Structure 1
């Protein structure tokens, strides 16, 4: 895979809101996936070269993220009374970020926050939590104390994302490769391949001219 590749899912969870969560996916900074959840209706968008969202890969991606959102919602409800924020209703914002360097090195992390400020950071490979302010400490205690929840966050970001990147990027790379191949072939077309086409066009034009002249001559003779 040439160059660095990144996958970023930004989310907002508002337990009592409609929709109760919003999710946006970006690959290499380009939006390719939008999802809102207020009922069973889920919306998607795609950019050129992306795979059809009806494939099993998309279904797996959607179902996994939906499950993570539901688990985070339950954790948020558990500590809601202890969190002091200026936003009403209470809303958790965050993102899951995954990156693969051209060298093959990969990294993955989670960010969580309130009122537009990052409160808690998880480095997935090392399982290291970093607290930025008070609400982050409470959120860390809730998430880190639940082994199954931590495993879910780590597995989703550091494990599943590799497959997701492959399914998201490969079709796009294919489109770019095809376009490049066509452009390359056009640039390398030899002059010897163009000359026969020019000659054929010239012969065709000459035949048409002779035919037209014959028709005009017959018309003049008929008039006499």
Structure 2
């Protein structure tokens, strides 16, 4: 038996409204600025430590730091715009401090845990963004020798062990109040300040350009926040299908 025309019209109106809400929500999240810094610290079996930092605004690389002195350079058109901002050097100084701090923690970690052997590799990823309602949020992710170890929520300061064998690292760093406080201050304070300063440049709607510096691939899978459109669609799609069959 065919459905009444009014029932079909109501179903179409509901689906149209849902699509409109998805589009509006997706646009809001797409306009959100995300600032991330990916730090990599390595110690080969023989040789000095090496450090590398890649800064990205909405996935576009704008700063690249490398070598034992953590020299930092602007990358691409966006980087050349941001280097003219008043807090560029403050950002560079903080990134150098973070690299030195991670190096100290790696040395201490090796002393505390005899199972850690060279070569060593630590990846630290910090991201911050502003929610649609204006609230700021952020996190830290840590990867040791290719294994995801810990996640830190910037708003609460809570440490979450990711790998079952990462409890020792979580407990060691959790007890280091100075280290934990510095991480929270950087992600909640510095990162948010930089984001406010930098996002006005992003709003210029710069066209993507070829990078002037060759940089390695960066893992973008740490947080769903880095791809808000996919997150929204994955959440709304089941409801759209439900409405289609019910109404």
Fold shared by both chains (TM-score > 0.5):
yes
Paired residues of 1:109 and 1:157 also in contact (CA < 8 A): yes
Paired residues of 2:61 and 2:79 also in contact (CA < 8 A): no
Paired residues of 1:51 and 1:168 also in contact (CA < 8 A): no
1:130 lines up with 2:160 in the alignment: yes
1:58 corresponds to which of 84, 88, 92? 88
Paired residues of 1:80 and 1:90 also in contact (CA < 8 A): no
Q: SS state of the match for residue 111, structure 1?
A: strand
Moved more, 121-130 or 158-167: 158-167
Q: SS state of the match for residue 187, structure 2?
A: helix
> Shift in Å at residue 19 of structure 1?
5.9
2:144 corresponds to which of 80, 95, 114? 114
Q: Unaligned stretches of 5+ in structure 1?
A: 178-224
Measure the CA separation in 2 of the matches of 1:62 and 1:159: 15
Please identify runs of 4+ aligned residues in structure 1 that moved more than 4 A.
Answer: 15-19
**Structure 1 residues 146, 19: CA separation in 2 closer, same or farther (over 3 Å shift)?**
closer
Q: SS state of the match for residue 100, structure 2?
A: helix
Q: In the alignment, what sits opposite 2:183?
A: 153
**Structure 1 residues 83, 114: CA separation in 2 closer, same or farther (over 3 Å shift)?**
farther
Q: In the alignment, what sits opposite 2:73?
A: 43
> Shift in Å at residue 153 of structure 1?
0.2
Q: In the alignment, what sits opposite 2:107?
A: 77
Q: Trace 1:19-34 onto structure 2 (pairs within 5 A).
A: 20-34=50-64
**Structure 1 residues 172, 4: CA separation in 2 closer, same or farther (over 3 Å shift)?**
closer
Tell me which structure has the larger Cα radius of gyration. Answer: 1
Q: SS state of the match for residue 77, structure 2?
A: coil
Q: SS state of the match for residue 126, structure 1?
A: coil
**Structure 1 residues 158, 118: CA separation in 2 closer, same or farther (over 3 Å shift)?**
same
Paired residues of 2:70 and 2:96 also in contact (CA < 8 A): no
Measure the CA separation in 1 of the matches of 2:106 and 2:164: 15
> Shift in Å at residue 97 of structure 1?
1.2
Q: SS state of the match for residue 148, structure 2?
A: strand
Q: SS state of the match for residue 95, structure 2?
A: helix
Measure the CA separation in 2 of the matches of 1:38 and 1:49: 22
Q: In the alignment, what sits opposite 2:217?
A: none
Q: In the alignment, what sits opposite 1:11?
A: 39
TM-score relative to the length of structure 1: 0.68
Measure the CA separation in 1 of the matches of 2:51 and 2:79: 27
Q: CA RMSD in A?
A: 2.5
Measure the CA separation in 2 of the matches of 1:61 and 1:40: 12
Q: SS state of the match for residue 4, structure 1?
A: coil
Paired residues of 1:110 and 1:121 also in contact (CA < 8 A): yes
Measure the CA separation in 2 of the matches of 1:76 and 1:12: 12
**Structure 1 residues 89, 11: CA separation in 2 closer, same or farther (over 3 Å shift)?**
same
Q: Unaligned stretches of 5+ in structure 2?
A: 1-27, 207-247
Q: SS state of the match for residue 87, structure 2?
A: helix
